[in-house]
Structures are given as structure tokens and as C-alpha cells.
Structure 1
């Protein structure tokens, strides 16, 4: 069994594929998803119709590629833990305390940024604490990473695999035994109504980033840990590395859809079947990007997305707090007006949004200015 190395707060290993895949993931958040609608109207091609359909979240049960964006980001946060391959077992109290402080600080920052992103501070000054939405995408990323880190730092690899399986199986039994898989009848809704402070997303009976569904998200992060450890262990054997990623990805993807026969794939409830399907997809994407970026070394491809991935949190926050469409119209509105087709003009504006953001992020990238909690 591979041994974990001691924790070092200064050690950090980056892979081009991980940064590029994170950037590819964020590309669809910052405006990439808006490309398909005007392209479909202009061309009528079935490929763009399919892409447009995939850029919508599933209404309830089911799965689209847009549903993958969130769990893929959580998976990649686990990959960085696995690449570091550190443990706190047997370390001094001072070193443990330093690691805990940094982990808690990162968690609190992400929770706070999540509230800011959702504009969830209420409608009054001082804010009404009961009207704040505390649950958020960033909070879930923070909690998933935090608990995965504690597990990695304190448990041996075999125990980590058992915890991963226990989370998914135990969550299934909990959902199956204490509720159903409907919007208001799930155990998730009951827990959020009882224990989640503040308000839920759009006033729903449950919150899609609520308390109980954070559990299987930890499994997504742990799967990333296992993948990162595999990259760490087999970096000098790319053939074996890729074979393992692709085989594991196909297997878990198939297991998730098989489980779907009795346990529906559902993003909002983050069912165990959904976790397996998204982990399988994440492994397949990681394998592809490792091939492109770290083996074939497609520098243009890697840079295109790594520029976004190295400042993923920054660009995610900016997508909520900055009106990029207004900026694009100010810069490229004249060009857009040249076209007689409104769809062509809209396409110019969307490309302008992506271009402006990429140029700013490239400026930060060239100067190695990376914002991370």
C-alpha cells in the first residue's frame, strides 16, 4: 500500500491538466453556456440543439452536462489533496494546529463568499439574519473539501475507501428509509426545514446546497483524492495512469446508471447514483485533459483554459458581482449592430463577454497573481 507523506503547509504541486480542466469547467459558468442559443438560431444544426439542451439543469430526476459543473469542481478540489498526499498522523500538535487553522479559515471564507455571491444578506440594514441564505455552491465546496481533508489527514487509504463507500450507501439508506424522492417528501427537505438556518433557494422545501446533501458531495471530493493519489503514484507511467482513470470512470459511470434503476439520479438531492455518475464523468474528463495537457502538451489548449482555472474562485465571484454583458455591449455593441440578424449580434456580445474576462484573467495569469481562499 502506498504510504502518505507528512503534511507540509508550504508544499504544493500543480498539474497543467488540473488547472486546465478547472478552467474548462468554469468556462461554462462565465458565459460559455450562452454560445449555443445564437449558434442554433443561426445555423439550425442539431449539434447546437444538443448543446443548448445540455446547458440546462435537469428539472428533477435525470442528468445533463450542466449538472456536472458543480460536482466536477468539488472533485478537482479533492485531486489537489490527493496530489499532495499528506497526512497529519503522528505529527506534532503545533503542525496539526496550523493545518486546522488554515482549513477552518478557508471554510469560513468560502461560506462568507457564498453569502456574498447570492446577495443573501437580506433586505435591511442591519441585515435580518433569518432572511440570509447561508447555503451556497461555495459553502458546499468548502465543506466537501474540509471534511475530505480531515479524512485524508487522519485516516489511512483503506479507511478512506471504506468511508467513501459508507457515505454513499448510508445516504441511500437514509433517503430510502426516512422519506421519498419527491420535492417535499424527501428527508433532505425535512432536515433543511428543521435545521438549516436562514432561507432556502427560491423558497423551496429543501435547499439544493442544503445540509444533508453535503454528505455525498464529500464522496465526490474523496473520489478526487483517490484520483490525485493515482496521478501522484503513476506520473512516470502515463499508459497505466490513463488506463486506470478511464477504466474507473467508465465503471463508476455505468454503476451510477445501474443504481439509477432503483435510486434515481438527482442533482438537487445529490443522490448516491448522481455522485457515481458525476465521479465517473469527472474521471473521464481528467483522463482526457491529462492526455492533452500533460502528455501531448497542447500548450495553446492548456493555456486557454488554465488562465481561467488558476483564478476560478475570482471569476466565479465576478460572474455574480460584475455586469459583464454591459461591459461587452459598451466595447462591442457597435460591431454587433452591424449585423442584420439579432442572433449574430447576440453572439458577438457573448464572445465579447468571454474575451474581456479572459484578457483580465490572462493579465493575472502572466503575473502569477492567483486568488484562492
Structure 2
């Protein structure tokens, strides 16, 4: 296996780890807490809930980590379109636009966004979505990477964060009803918002700083490429970058709160820090120490991450798990039965993904 493939394997494994919590991993802590009473599981269950407004929990990391990983693949590819004639660039643009439109469309499908039925009422569709934000963040990061050098990319990332900060704090208080995000979504976002809030957590303005999460991934991917085979240098670089982002993010939090709903700049830095540190950890486990079974378990999930995400909305895995394991669960105490069903949900999805993985069927936009 070449170094490039090994790096991609660690990225797939980390992507699988990220999606593991989406497909049902978050549901394990509550029954484990009920069975054992251990405070560790109480902490884990708390971390599996999104922060209500200001603050940060582990579950807030899942979304930006996926965006970060999309940037890592851009950095590893190291593609540049600078100096190429339009006829050579256009096929790349067309493919990028197609990917963006597919993700926007799949996001609407995920949201069950057909309004009150067919024919669809366009004003009742939720166009903003997690998949759309992933698409926009990747698309604009790709355009920046393809048309600017590394120094300019760093400058653009810094300008986005500083400009977004000045815009938010200059407009008014960072509250759900009074933020500039709410004003812009009510003014310009078509359709409805999530739970009919004044703002949409995947709305227009907060998509802008998410581009920086992808760009930090680009910087990490470029570092992996440049230092290929130099394990110590790779680990030190990723860890140093993560700790630097963590320090700056925590200091910035004092005047600019960490907030996932508004995707504040401090939230970008904290999530980028965690993403870099996790990538360092997975690089150590998968590429340096060659933990084959660890890698395989998560890579099976990570190689079809978009399909996994769609499946959580379109397939009732809970019903399937109850059908297969409900008899066992009913014979056990409530907490143990709940744990059996939760493990069944994970097992069924993993087996389907393993079937695809073994046949090298990888579905991506």
C-alpha cells in the first residue's frame, strides 16, 4: 500500500468514526448509564446532545469534522487550475457544480422537504440542510485552492473569520432573534427555516465561516502530502496546528462566544482544533501503528458516508432492529433491552455497508 493510500485509509477511518455517532452510536450511553450508573456514561450521554446556544459539546463537532475531512482530500489531491485555459478548466468546474447541486438536492430529500405534499408548495420546502452546507463549503474551498497559492489561502481563511466576526458583532447582539444571521435568513432565505426559527442553523450567512473548516482540512491534507512517510513530522505538525487553533479559539471565546447555531469564528477554531487532533490520533493508529481491525471497522462506514447519512432519514433502522432483536430485548430488563436494540441498529447498518465495501461499491456525489 502506498503512502497516499494509507493516508486516505486513515481519513476514511476518521470519517467513519464521525458517522458512527450519526448512525446510532450516540444512543449507547443512556442504556449503559442505566445499567452501570457510571459517571463516565453520564458524561458521554451529555456530550451526545447539541449545545442549546453558546458552548460546545462533542456532538457539535460531528458536522464540522465532516467538512474538515472533505478539505483534507482536496489538500491531498493538491490540484491547481492556475494558468490553464478555460477549455481545460471547464470540465473541472462542471463536475464541481454538479456535485454541489446533487448535495443540495439530497439535502432537500433528507429534510423530507416537499411541503404539504405533491404538487409541492415551494414556500414550505426547507432548502437549507447539512448536505447543502457540506456542498457549499467544499465547493468554495475547492475554488480557492484551485485558483490561489498557499499564502493567499491562509489570508482568505483569516479574512473570512475576521470579516464574519466584525459583521456579527457590529450588527447587534448574538441572540436567536436579533443576530445578523436571523435578519438575512428572514430576508433572503427561500422556503422555511429549521423548526420555523428566526434563523436556520444551516442558513445563508453561517455557511461562510464553514468554508474555513474545509480550508483547515486543505492545510492538513497538504501537510500529509508534503511530509509523506515522515510520521513524526506529520504528527507533530497536526498536533501543533490543533493546539494553536485551540488556544486562539478559547481566547477568542472570551469576547466572541463559541456557538454552533451561528457558526461563530471561535466555533470554527475550536472544531478545527479538535479535527486536527483527531486526524493526528487516527494517523497514529492507522498509518503508524497499523491497527488493522480498528481501521476496517470505521473505514467500512466512512467509505459510504453520504449514503450512511441519507439512510438515517430514509430507512427506519429502529423498526428493523425491533423486528429482529425485539424478542431478545423483551426478555431482558428495560435498560439492557434498549441497549440490544441500539446495538442492533448499528449492526444492521454496518453489515449493509460492509457488503458494499467488500464489493468496492462507493457512492458519492
Q: 1:197 aligns with which of 190, 201, 208?
A: 190
Residue matched to 2:253: 260
Residue matched to 2:358: 366
Residues 56-205 of structure 1 aligned to structure 2 (within 5 Å): 56-205=49-198
Residue matched to 1:249: 242
Q: Distance in 2 between matches of 1:304 and 1:281?
A: 22
Q: Distance in 2 between matches of 1:249 and 1:29?
A: 24
Residue matched to 1:346: 338
* CA deviation profile, 1:331-371 (whole Å, cap 9, x unmatched): 111111221x1110010000000001001100100111000
Q: Is the 8 A contact 1:13 1:83 kept in 2?
A: no
Q: Distance in 2 between matches of 1:288 and 1:47?
A: 21
Residue matched to 1:209: 202
Q: Is the 8 A contact 2:186 2:199 kept in 1?
A: yes
Structure 1: 5+ residue stretches without partners:
1-10
Q: 2:299 aligns with which of 303, 306, 314?
A: 306
Q: 2:24 aligns with which of 8, 25, 31?
A: 31
Structure 1 residue matching 2:296: 3-state secondary structure: helix
Q: 1:45 aligns with which of 31, 38, 41?
A: 38
- Backbone CA RMSD of aligned residues: 1.1
Q: Distance in 1 between matches of 2:96 and 2:5?
A: 15
Q: Is the 8 A contact 1:118 1:133 kept in 2?
A: yes
Residue matched to 1:357: 349
Tell me the CA shift for residue 95 of structure 1.
2.1
Q: Distance in 2 between matches of 1:92 and 1:348?
A: 58
Q: Is the 8 A contact 1:12 1:84 kept in 2?
A: no
TM-score by length of 2: 0.98
TM-score by length of 1: 0.96
Q: Distance in 1 between matches of 2:202 and 2:38?
A: 35
Structure 2 residue matching 1:282: 3-state secondary structure: helix
Q: Distance in 2 between matches of 1:94 and 1:334?
A: 62
Q: Distance in 2 between matches of 1:282 and 1:252?
A: 10
Equivalenced residues, count: 362
Residue matched to 1:325: 318
Structure 2 residue matching 1:87: 3-state secondary structure: coil
Residues 290-301 of structure 1 aligned to structure 2 (within 5 Å): 290-301=283-294
Structure 2 residue matching 1:119: 3-state secondary structure: coil
